[in-house]
Amino acid sequence: MRWAHKVPFVMRPGLLAILLALTTTSAFAQAPSTTNNDDSCDIGITPAATLLVPYFEVDLKAKPSEARTTVFSIINVTNLPQIARVTIWSDYAYPLFGFNVFLTGYDVQAIDLRDLLVRGVVPINTEQPGPLSRPNFSNPNHRPTMATECRAGKASAAPALIDDVRSVLTIGRSLGGSRITCPGPDGTQLQLGANHGPTTAIGYVTVDVVATCSAKLPSDASYYTSDLLYDNVLIGDYTFIDPKGDKNGYATASPVVHIRAVPEGGGAGSDVPTRLPQTFYGRFKPSVSDRRQPLPSVFAARFIEGGPTLFQTKITIWREAATSVGASCSQYSSTAEAPFVEIARFDERENATIYGRQRAAASGAGMTLPPLARMTSTSILFPASSSTDVGGWLYLNLADGNRSRQSWVEVTLFAEGRYGVQLPAAALGNGCSQAPEAGAKIGPIK
């Protein structure tokens, strides 16, 4: 900051000595344990190497002015060109389809999933860099073959493939007409996602910074040696639009989940050790670590339901699957419901209704949440409270008891059927924290 004019300041020598002594003592007493502050398991809204859209929903049949859709953006915050690999997953965590987005320096690309799933339209790569951008072939981490592999992207995807993608995202089964085929013993296609009916497509999206344009997906072991990069250069957001939702329609928006590479930098396949105890893509057991921050598994979330202004709360939950590289179709079918440790609903007077292992054992019911990516009302998904209080908060320990299963939770609060706001739940720890056991004292995890 530049001041308009200077004011002389004179300090007495004795006072100066005292202040220097205090400053020196304080600095040594409170010195940070590390100067590399990027080496953290805490998830923040900062440039990242992977973006996660934890849930999307698209109405495939309604006319465009009335159809639900999800739009997300990818932003390159550097002057170097970047390549983003977009992967569409079912809500059982089956990777269905991927495409590449070439971003010039400081570029932004918005993607409407209804355009992709209804019309088969994929983004056309930008070719002309802006005045502040570096040339398109100046990223040292891109493969030499990138120039030919990333020529102007196709304006549409193969119809048979999009038909199959739509089928899995709606009724949960492939049509068997493309590479997505999972026949069971009797020849019928196995479930790779939940059945939401023929008109509603539900799933989630990942976006990774990569070295070239290819068709490889994160479930491919070679993805980690040939394609994946480690530069924290992407940010993004997503918007859920429902023109006919509730009474008058609504739209909500939230940042995507920003997952950093730790440490960052290096070319594809560079084998650099990470101090993270687990990683976001660790379930695929890549021969070269993806170095991505793991997500937490314990959350606290506000809810409001009822009252004169018709408060309503919907909760979005993304959870890590147990499938890995080479998983069979039947293994994806078995991920329909994933176990968890404990959920507690607190009213505004600290009364708790707990859904945990003891209750499950007494009733003979399983302790699971279906499916892995979903959005629903808290009054439907979680145990109801006998309290007359309109609001309160939820404690969600979504570990599976054996490990800290990665998760993400967001809350959407509505009023009067027309106002809505979406926000991430508070994480009580991070992906490097050991999740507490059922019945443990609730509080931040150290």
Taking only the tens place, the pLDDT of each residue in 380-428 is 777 677 788 888 999 999 988 656 789 999 999 888 877 888 999 999 9
- Averages of pLDDT over runs of 10 residues in the chain (446 residues) are 35 40 37 55 96 97 93 98 97 94 95 95 82 93 91 74 96 91 89 94 97 95 96 97 80 96 94 91 91 96 84 91 86 80 90 68 53 80 78 90 83 84 93 86 79
Cα separation of 114 and 148, whole Å? 29
Say whether 377 sits in a helix, a strand or coil. Answer: strand
Output the pLDDT for position 11: 41
Say which DSSP state 10 is in.
Answer: -
Tokens of 270: 């560079």
User: Could you write out the DSSP letters of every residue in 124-172?
Assistant: PPP-S--TTSPPTT--TTS-TTHHHHTSS--SS--HHHHHHHHHHHHTS
Amino acid at 144: P
**pTM for this predicted structure:** 0.88
CA 75 to chain centre: 16
Cα separation of 380 and 408, whole Å? 19
Vertex 310, ends 309 and 312: CA angle to 5°? 125
Preceding omega of 263 cis (within 30 degrees of 0): yes
- 407 and 425 Cβ atoms separated by less than 8 Å: no
Output the pLDDT for position 154: 59
Query: Which residues, 6+ apart, have CB-to-CB distance to 110 below 8 Å?
Result: 71, 72, 73
Output the pLDDT for position 157: 82
- Whose CA is closest to 227, among 211, 209, 208? 211
